[in-house]
Structure 1
Amino acid sequence: MIPKVKFYDLTAAGRRILNENEVCTFYFDRDNLRARGGMSHIHEQTLLCGKKVATKGLPADKPINPENVFYLANEARALATLLQDKPHPNIIDYFGLVRIGERPFIIMELLDEEQDQSSRSLGFPLPVDEVLTIGLGIAKGLHHVHRHGLTHRDVKPSNFVGTKLIDFAFCWKHGLPIVIDGHQHSSGTSSYFSPAIVSGSEPTIQDDIYSLGVSLFEMLSGKSALPPGTDPHISRNLLGSRIADLAICRGLTPGIAELLFAATKTTPEVGVMRESGFSSCRDVIRFIKSLINVD
């Protein structure tokens, strides 16, 4: 027996996208599996109207984990907040949260498969102009996130699909406690953490900017900015000792090096390490535009 679809929210905080009679039976098998993550799987679905969407939910072959449910609901809340008025060109679109049986699922935009594979593959380094285009789009998405009082907290190349930012499971609203309902509101992938996050400081927008800088470095150089096991406290500027790697990137200019250093700039005091060369993603956007001559 196929569980009935039950609707939590199809309004995206006021912007109605779907009606209940538009949603058909959802299927979850290998044929329509698009992505597999540690906490969730993404499947392609087709609505009765013919529109293709994606469902993101807990893996069907694993027990329901309350912590994973927490992060899935957290992602839905964040996306509903960010997209309450209209879609944003640099953020994956959100259509609603449903329950199928006992499992919650986010209904979201189905991203282009070719775009998905090109920007999330491990085929780094990428051409400089492509990295700058991706960086500009992600900075615009992050600026929208920050304007709503949120930080993404999991900025990394695998969460960039073309110029769209995805995976808001760890998104955090300023002013809220780090522990909510007994769940530790943790950040994403440690190799992209800023030294401030490693020190246990409360997240700020500079931490997202830092992670973006590290991501751009990886896409340009094809190397990790922070090798596994390296303590993020050891260097005033984590890219400083790796700048020779950038020399192998075609088209590298002093301006691009300045972009990377400014995004990852930190103060030398252990436990402080929060100073950024960019005060906001608006500064990042302006700087990247100056590099590619875009208004």
Structure 2
Amino acid sequence: MGAVYLATDLQTGRQVALKLLSLQREFSPEDLAEVRQRFLRESRAASSLHHPDILEVLESGEAGSDAWIVMELVQGQDLSAYTRSGQLLPVSQVLKITARVARALAYAHRQGVVHRDIKPANVLVDPVHDSVKLSDFGIARIADGSRTRTGLVLGTPSFMSPEQLAGLRVDGRSDLYSLGVLLFQLLTGQLPHQAESMARLMNAIANEPAADVRRLRPQLPESLAMVVALALEKRPELRYANGDQFADDLDAVARQWVEAMPELDLDLAAQQPPGAQTLHAPAQNVDAFAQTQALDARDPRHNP
């Protein structure tokens, strides 16, 4: 939703990211006033978040029929490119990134702010500076309960929790479900639920258990499969209560992985193409997230 531009703050000379949201074009006239009020409320809430792993919102406002948000400018790229088989990150990096996002969410939830649209495109990583940034807080909430001109409620259905898809009230545990979907995809290159239509996808998310990640990557430890399964529980009360718990379990699995699977790490390193690097040791002018492993799995379908 919206386009992002490189801009310069004329008062400070600082380079920033400017996101423009064309509310009048996106939403029906009868919803526009409510959407504008919601935008101002949500952007204020987002600007109150100050966490090293959350993209900082510096300022927001309206200009004619458009709304705008000024954000800190960060280097790197989002995780979208690393969610397909053959382009996956090392498991240790996936666990570290996911744990950092979980702790960022724990902080936001303590401030009473729910993200509502956790997905690869909203997690920015910079291997040079070991940076992880969660972006777009409140953007999905702007459209909550309103219809776009095309008749669709904004959001990313494949990553939505059962309660969010059902239009029920959501809290931080919905974000943790979405983070569980992201973790599943980063580990396997596939989504936990796939369907040919929106109706079938919604039914699958609401009623069908997600596959065990070990069916797609048998070498993953049982402890990690249990973490993913807990995050993807259908009922919110059965999931992690908060992001700190989620992150603690991911950290524990990461320690076990390094201690118990050094030979597997070596095998993965041997499969890297020339120039491939990990998050902690990027080489100059080399993509630190280059292909690390090819899985014998069919390509995932695109998110509906």
TM over 0.5: yes
Say which SS state the counterpart of residue 58 (structure 2) adopts: strand
- Deviations along 1:30-73, one digit per CA (max 9) or x if unpaired, are xxxxxxxxx3000001233431101101359x947466896676
Which of the two has greater helix per residue? 2
Write the distance in 2 (CA, Å) between the matches of 1:73 and 1:110. Answer: 26
Q: Distance in 2 between matches of 1:186 and 1:101?
A: 23
Would the aligned equivalents of 1:90 and 1:138 in 2 still touch at CA under 8 Å?
A: yes
Secondary structure of 1:223's partner? coil
Unaligned runs of 5+ in 1: 1-38, 173-177, 267-272
Q: Percent identity?
A: 25
Kindly provide the CA deviation profile for residues 125-184 of structure 1, in whole angstroms up to 9, marking residues without a partner as x: 221111112101110111112112222111111111122111121248xxxxx648xx99
Distance in 2 of aligned mates of 1:200 and 1:101: 31
Question: Compared with structure 1, are the counterparts of its residues 254 and 287 closer, same or farther at alpha carbon in structure 2 (3 Å cutoff)?
Answer: same
Within 5 A, what are the aligned runs for 1:117-156?
117=78, 119-122=79-82, 124=84, 125-156=88-119
The aligned amino acid for 1:254 is E
- In 2, the alpha carbon distance for the partners of 1:75 and 1:289 equals 36
Correspondence 1:107 to 2:70: yes
Residue-by-residue CA offset, 1:92-120 (whole Å, 9 max, x unaligned): 111111444543211111121xx215x23
Note the C-alpha offset of 1:274: 3.1
Q: What code does the residue aligned with 2:207 have?
A: I
Q: Does 1:170 align with 2:143?
A: no
**Matched residue of 1:151: which SS?**
coil
Corresponding residue SS for 1:96: strand
**Cα RMSD after superposing both structures:** 3.4
Deviations 1:240-272 (A, max 9, x none): 4x641132xx6x222211110111123xxxxxx
- Amino acid across the alignment from 1:167: D
Q: CA deviation at 1:284?
A: 0.6
Alignment check: 8 A CA contact 1:153 1:187 kept: no
Q: Aligned in 2, Cα 1:64/1:261: closer, same or farther, shift over 3 Å? A: closer
Which amino acid letter does the alignment assign opposite residue 238 of structure 1?
A
Distance in 2, matches of 1:204 and 1:144, equals 13
Cα distance in 2 between the residues matched to 1:68 and 1:166: 24
> Are the aligned partners of 1:131 and 1:216 in contact in 2 as well (CA < 8 Å)?
yes
1:245 to 216, 228, 234: 216
Distance (whole Å) between structure 2 residues aligned to residue 135 and residue 74 of structure 1 = 29
Say which of 162, 168, 184 aligns to 1:201. 168
**Structure 2 letter corresponding to 1:213:** G
* One of 194, 204, 223 as aligned partner of 2:190: 223
**AA of the residue aligned to 1:207:** S
Distance 1:279 1:64, change over 3 A: closer
Cα separation, partners in 2 of 1:145 and 1:69, compared to 1, 3 Å: farther
Alpha-carbon distance in 2 for matches of 1:141, 1:171: 18
| Aligned partners of 2:2 and 2:21 also within 8 Å | yes
Q: Which amino acid aligns with 1:144?
A: Y
Question: When the two structures are superposed, what TM-score results if normalisation uses the length of structure 2?
Answer: 0.66
Output the CA distance in 1 between the equivalents of 2:170 and 2:89.
29
Counterparts in 2 of 1:148 and 1:101: CA distance versus 1, 3 Å: same
The 3 A distance-change label for structure 1 pair 70 and 159 is farther
| Cα displacement (A) at 1:90 | 1.3
Per the normalisation by structure 1, the TM-score is 0.68
- Secondary structure in 2 aligned to 1:92? coil
Q: Deviation of residue 210 (structure 1)? A: 0.9
Query: Is 2:77 the partner of 1:116?
Result: yes
Alignment match, 1:42: 4
1:292 aligns with 2:292: no
1:199: how far off? 3.3
Kept after mapping to 2: 8 A contact 1:55/1:106: yes
1:265 aligned onto 2:233: yes
Contact (CA 8 Å) 2:160, 2:174: kept in 1 or not?
A: yes
Does 2:176 align with 1:214?
no
Contact 2:46 2:57 in 1 (8 A): no
